[in-house]
Structure 1
């Protein structure tokens, strides 16, 4: 691939850097609906389990170790299945793959709700996580394909939908279980209706999803991205941010209980932290198309102050620390937006999305495990918070580099005549 001159206006707006074009008006709202509904489903298979985990353990006679495996499955699915996304999309078509993945999620949500053993539940959970894993890596490419002039806006749309779905499934699964006669099975299975509905707007797009094989664009192998410093910067930016988020959702309630807050207030603090992802996801991607370095500095500073506050005044400033921590979580939608803004070609966007999220989620999965080890050794939150401080500094440094005016495509040395679309 030849290196092209950089134009900051093209990078910020995402208009001239790809060969795609905005969809016709008659299809635009259908695509928007598909993206919104898919975003809503992306985390329901994860957070619905956490909401009724105690009842689930009791109902399936699961040990704590087995429950730990179940809660680790999302990381495995998002990394493993995510890596396969670009290859499968190249073979079957992006829209077909998303629709099929949502159908798999629907089946998995229903079937695991009637599983008779914890191991069958775990296997079917991998099926239920398929839609989220595929959508993770393909939605940035689909936004690039259908809305090359609205990358920030449409990334905000699906990350906000993701945040809404996450919050809803965390908050409403237990009430749904009560509605179903105190049945955790009904509580987690009811979300299959949402994923089934999410399939519908994709269906009209399936017929034209695969062009003639002879005219299909080249796929960008993930191995090529190993040579891109910018790709690695995005991996570490995304990974260190998700590392913090997984620790927060897994351990912050325990942190506040450790400092003598009751279970209700500790839960409300975490809910407040999670709910902040909704306005943050609405704002950050739209702002990011005009420049990212200032946003990286502001979000990183918020995270750093939050962790230092938790270290020095965990109870007195608890709500402020969660406010700043929730704002700092804007690094997640920022990283997803930058995947689209730092790639010229649609195939590069898909490969970069899989590369960043595949490796990034593996890094994220180590966070809760490390905190558990540190707490087991010291029974103190000092070292876990030091770990979080190091993570936010790492996210700041790699985010600063990733915000430089460059494209992953331009860093790849590729044979002439093999331009990815």
Structure 2
């Protein structure tokens, strides 16, 4: 059993007999930096495109239907490519696959900025999203394997960096594009440089690792579980799906909700940024608190109640104390880092985490696809936001129910 002193010293990777070698101690810190840099790159692929989508459509002669398809492609790619992650991890090892994922992100983001047609642009976007998908699934596995005593802090670091990358790409893409001459190609392509930096960090980490071969990592994911038998796995998948539904609907429609309530376009964009920024510190603190409890049900309930209050406020008083509703909705979206934390806690081994992460995230993203579309359909049919926001608030009740089940102190190996 680890002593208190051992759990607060420099992170070490992979159990080893005797004192940690200085190279291994430094490598622990390097791997922590690699996790953070990877997280920064997992959302700009998507959030940098939205502000420039009109320019991209005109320049590539993209139809409205295809542009609409682009909003559904991320969830679909996350689901499909995420399913392949455990098999790739068993064959090559999780750090090798995440490094390849960083390479796919860098290639896709850089190359699509030079594409001359819609088909090539979609294909290269899918390449980048494939890298995001396998990294989504396997970074929690890397954390479980190399930081088993620091799952909470490392998931917190990962989630915080993810939020920073999301907010930065949404807020900085347009100013960055203007500073580079106003062409969308330079604006989108510049995020590929961040991906290249992430790739270099992972390549150095991979080179310095003592267990560089895929064979050394394979046993961690070798035992394939009948995960469909696990109620906890199903509960986590549905919890992630309902959370993603609210998150994507909020990111897609919140500025319109505020503008319909009389808030200016500039202020509505700032309020959307507030929703994402509020989750940055919360995403770091929450996993650290959650990992200290055997049962995470309390956090599930608190976040759901924040969301219900936030969506209710938006429905009836979006133009009044607008910042309060944005903060409450932003806090409710921290259900995602909570879900990542629970994935790390609900399996005993890195191999179990890989299978649980792939199953829960892939099924969860599939569940989330219809939600934002349905919100838009209801709004178009009624011309008001009462029913769409009521729908989002109502979804938090089953999210709370399945979250309470997923938050119980159990392991999928026992159920499966």
Same fold per superposition (TM over 0.5): yes
2: CA distance, partners of 1:387 / 1:204: 47
1: CA distance, partners of 2:97 / 2:365: 21
CA contact (8 A) 1:87 1:219 kept: no
Match of 2:266 in 1: 264
* Cα distance, 1:198–1:389 mapped onto 2, change above 3 Å: same
1:144-181 Cα offsets, whole Å, 9 max, x none, are 00000000000011111111111111122112211221
2: CA distance, partners of 1:344 / 1:182: 50
Q: Which runs of 5+ in 2 are unaligned?
A: 1-6, 8-12
Match of 1:44 in 2: 44
Match of 1:371 in 2: 375
- Provide the aligned length of Structure 1 versus Structure 2: 394
Shift of 1:218: 5.4
Shift of 1:386: 2.0
Equivalent residue runs for 1:6-405 within 5 Å: 21=15, 24-206=24-206, 208-210=211-213, 212=215, 216=219, 219-221=222-224, 224-291=226-293, 292-405=296-409
Shift of 1:290: 1.6
* Cα distance, 1:218–1:136 mapped onto 2, change above 3 Å: closer
Shift of 1:182: 0.7
TM-score normalised over the length of structure 2: 0.90
Shift of 1:119: 2.1
2: CA distance, partners of 1:251 / 1:178: 25
1:262-309 Cα offsets, whole Å, 9 max, x none, are 211211111111111211111111111122222112111111111121
CA contact (8 A) 1:82 1:136 kept: yes
CA contact (8 A) 2:30 2:205 kept: no
Shift of 1:311: 2.1
Greater RCO (Cα-Cα under 8 Å, separation 6 or more): 1
* Cα distance, 1:359–1:97 mapped onto 2, change above 3 Å: same
1:51-89 Cα offsets, whole Å, 9 max, x none, are 211211121122221111112211111111111111111
Shift of 1:212: 4.3
Match of 1:7 in 2: none
Aligned-CA RMSD value: 2.0
CA contact (8 A) 2:271 2:323 kept: yes
1: CA distance, partners of 2:217 / 2:325: 56
1:230-265 Cα offsets, whole Å, 9 max, x none, are 111111111111110000001111112222322112
CA contact (8 A) 1:244 1:367 kept: yes
2: CA distance, partners of 1:380 / 1:322: 19
CA contact (8 A) 1:21 1:145 kept: no
2: CA distance, partners of 1:353 / 1:146: 16
2: CA distance, partners of 1:218 / 1:299: 32
Shift of 1:209: 3.5
CA contact (8 A) 2:89 2:218 kept: no
Matched, 1:411 2:410: no
CA contact (8 A) 2:310 2:325 kept: yes
Q: Which runs of 5+ in 1 are unaligned?
A: 1-12, 14-18, 413-421
